Amino acid sequence: MKLATLKNGHKDGRLVVVSRDLRRAVDAADIAPSMLDAVERWTLTAPLLAQRYDALNAGTASHAFDFDPTAAAAPLPRAPQWCDGSAFLNHARLMEKAFDITPAPDSDRIPLMYQGGSDDLLGPHDDLPLPDESHGIDFEGEFGVIVGDVPLGCPPSMARDRILLLVQINDVSLRGFGPREMRTGFGFFQAKPSSSFAPVAVTPDEIGEAWQNARVHLDLAVEYNGRWFGDPNGREMNFGFDQLIAHAATTRRLTAGTLVGSGTVSNAGDTKGSACIAERRAIELIDQGASTTPFMRFGDRVRMEARWQDRPVFGVIDQRVVQSPPPLPFPVEGEA
């Protein structure tokens, strides 16, 4: 099943069911007004949404229309929680080697994770408004999952059953803030502005055998300003999503709609490229003694897409970095 959220002027948008080829859609507001409502009542809504999905693919759904991904918000425009892991140790090892970083204790058996902002998640074709090029603007291609309710202390064996939907993510990073924030011991904050998402969230069965061991075994093709940047595969996660969910739930419950990210998709070897600029810069530093690829500037574009058996899965992220406008004064009651 494939689901998306269309912008409609409300913060949570309008839930639609999308066809397997991403060409057609049908409204689902009578089943659930929003994606968040659908996942919060999943045992009731999922069978009804699946029936509508089958009808849409069979060409029998009433009032179907052409799906326009440029009108899509993030599948969850705002989520109860956004927990991003760093599940690809190849990425971590490259960064450690290039920048002489001491590995985190037990990083080979305990996943790294930070809690990012989940109140303002961006759509697949939204501009990325940021204040200053000097902040080290970077993209990060990731896969992620949307979970149902996860109890405190949930083990990996139970966590896998809590995965409702898969998503594709551009976890935007500002590298200029990262080193200081990590040294404080409090973790990322200013270094992590709003992340963006491909238009469609999919149930794991939609990618068949590419969903194995709670990992997305798909290439994530990344283009930067129209040129190939990398196509690493999600199969090399050192920690599966079941392990990441269990880690997040060690001391807290996760409510339905919580997003859990994989961290930058990264593969060993030199044939698959990279899914973020920082990793390419690390490789350049290791191989050549200096980093030559600059971080993003206003007007730069990044495109990301995963495909299964040459068919679209989540749709495309295609975004431009722009300078954010100056903030407007907060309106005072009684003023025109």
Rounded distance between C-alpha atoms, residue 52 and residue 28, angstroms: 8
Q: Helix, strand, or coil here: 75? A: coil
Phi/psi for 204 (5° steps) reads: -55, -30
pLDDT of residue 102: 83
Query: What is the pLDDT, as a whole number, of residue 100?
Result: 83
Which residues lie below 8 Å from residue 56, measured CB to CB, with a gap of 6+?
A: 17, 18, 19, 24, 25, 26, 64
Query: Would you write out the chain's pLDDT as a tens digit for each of its 336 residues?
Result: 999 999 999 999 999 999 999 999 999 999 999 999 999 999 999 999 999 999 999 999 999 999 999 999 999 999 999 999 999 999 999 988 888 888 888 888 999 999 999 999 999 999 999 999 999 999 999 999 999 999 999 999 999 999 999 999 999 999 999 889 888 888 899 999 999 999 999 999 999 999 999 999 999 999 999 999 999 999 999 999 999 999 999 999 999 999 999 999 999 998 999 999 999 999 999 999 999 999 999 999 999 999 999 999 999 999 999 999 988 888 776 655
Q: Which helix (H) or strand (E) holds 52?
A: helix 42-58
Return the pLDDT at 107: 85
pLDDT at position 333, please?
67
Structure tokens at 84: 């991003």
Q: Domain segments of the chain: what residues?
A: 2-71, 82-323
Looking at residue 329, its pLDDT comes to 87
The CATH number of domain 82-323, selected from 3.40.50.1980, 3.40.50.300, 3.30.70.3290, 3.90.850.10: 3.90.850.10
Task: Write down the pLDDT at residue 130.
Answer: 97
Q: Which residue has the tokens 């899965």?
A: 313
Rounded CA gap, 215 and 87, in Å? 10
Identify whether the C-beta of residue 168 lies closer than 8 Å to the C-beta of residue 199. Answer: no
pLDDT for the residue 50:
98
Within 8 A by CB and 6+ apart from 121, the residues are 73, 74, 76, 77, 78, 79, 82, 194, 195, 196, 197
- The rounded distance, in Å, linking the Cα atoms of 155 and 157 is 5
